[in-house]
Amino acid sequence: MEIRTAVSPRDIKAYTTERMREEFLIQDLLLPGKIKMVYSHVDRIIAGGARPAEPIALQAGKEIGADFFLQRREMGIVNIGPAGTVMVDGTEYRLEKSDGLYVSMGSKDLVFSSDDPKNPAKFYFNSCPAHAAFPTKKILKKDIKGNHLGSIQQSNERTIYKYIDPQAGAKSCQLVMGMTVLEPGNMWNSMPCHTHDRRMEVYFYFDLPENAVVFHLMGEPAETRHIVMRNEEAVISPSWSIHSGVGTASYTFIWGMCGENQNFDDMDHVPMAILK
């Protein structure tokens, strides 16, 4: 498992493009036959991906310091590819594209598999520390009432689906997770932008056409930087950072948050006038 340390906003003022990418960008999440994980010291979130040709079991590495991966953690999983199954302590949860699964703290065995090994599922997941167990639950996108935001006039018409949230989908100890789908012809997410000092966030961009990119914007509001991102890449957003993006085509992304509270609306909105 790769470890990423926390970064001060004062330091990124001097970062090159390469250093920005080393610290925040997460690539190669969905390599066939592998589970890839990045452990961030920012609120100890783990972002990962599994693309199983054969069934693959999730292993706790030394980094976790526990007998098994979810001994003191919880996890949210969304399948963004062809159908597959996540087996949790012997119970099978079959996930089609866009189906999600919340996995309880204390679950011991977790195995990812695909319906068709030649066309494997694409499981993206976030995991964060937990101190209380909530039931494992399958979440269907069609059962979530989307929150429609933005407009074509502002190039930001999109729908937010909350998969793991105190008010929707599955309940959790601290993980909050969802999917935002841009309407065709819309490019911007999360603009006007915000920060939330109480939570960090990881964004995972997908459903981007080949050769399309998203300019992910981050940094303190008056000291922004960008990271050019391609399909199926993720980015770590510390709590002091804005997180917003503009694509050369419309796209979808999964956001996962953890930290002090779970209140989605507890954002510090950034007035457009102070952006630099």
Ligand X SMILES: O=C(O)C(=O)C[C@H](O)C(=O)CO
Binding segment for ligand X (CB under 6 A), chosen from 21-29, 82-90, 93-101, 188-196, is 188-196
Candidates 107, 114, 186, 189; binder of ligand X (CB under 6 A) is 189
88 vs 202, which CB is nearer to ligand X?
202
Q: Distance between CA atoms of 218 and 225, rounded to whole angstroms?
A: 5
Q: Is the separation of the CB atoms in 68 and 60 below 8 Å?
A: yes
Binding mask 103-142 for ligand X (x = CB under 6 A): ----------------------------------------
How many other C-beta atoms can be found within 10 angstroms of the C-beta atom of residue 35?
20
- Least Å distance, CB 107 to ligand X, is 26
Binding mask 222-251 for ligand X (x = CB under 6 A): ---------------------x--------
Q: How is 187-220 classified by DSSP, letter by letter?
A: -EES-S-EE-TTEEEEEEEESPPTT--EEEEEEE
CA distances from 206 to 81, 130, 149, 203, 229 (A): 10, 27, 19, 10, 10
Contact residues for 15 (Cβ-Cβ < 8 A; gap 6+): 23, 225
Binding segment for ligand X (CB under 6 A), chosen from 60-68, 78-86, 189-197, 215-223, is 189-197
How many other C-beta atoms can be found within 10 angstroms of the C-beta atom of residue 116?
11
Please compute, for residue 1, the number of CA atoms within 13 A of its CA located in the half-sphere on the CB side: 23
* Closest-CA residue to 49 (of 167, 204, 165, 162): 204
45 vs 160, which CB is nearer to ligand X?
160
- The reply to whether 201 sits in an annotated binding site is yes
- The reply to whether 194 sits in an annotated binding site is yes
- Least Å distance, CB 180 to ligand X, is 4
Q: Does residue 190 touch ligand X according to CB under 6 A? A: yes
Candidates 69, 232, 255, 259; binder of ligand X (CB under 6 A) is 255
Binding mask 145-184 for ligand X (x = CB under 6 A): -------------x-x-------------------x----
Type of residue found at 150: G
35 vs 165, which CB is nearer to ligand X?
165
- Least Å distance, CB 189 to ligand X, is 4
Map tokens 């319906």 to a residue.
115
With b meaning 16 or more CB within 10 Å and e meaning fewer, what string describes 148-157?
A: eebeeeebbb
Total interface residues for ligand X by CB under 6 A: 10
* Closest-CA residue to 200 (of 130, 261, 272): 261
How many other C-beta atoms can be found within 10 angstroms of the C-beta atom of residue 169?
24
127 vs 190, which CB is nearer to ligand X?
190
- The reply to whether 243 sits in an annotated binding site is yes
Q: Is the separation of the CB atoms in 137 and 76 below 8 Å?
A: no
**Annotated binding residues for Zn(2+):** 194, 196, 201, 243
Name the residues that contact ligand X, by CB under 6 A: 158, 160, 180, 189-190, 196, 201, 243, 255, 267
**Annotated binding residues:** 194, 196, 201, 243
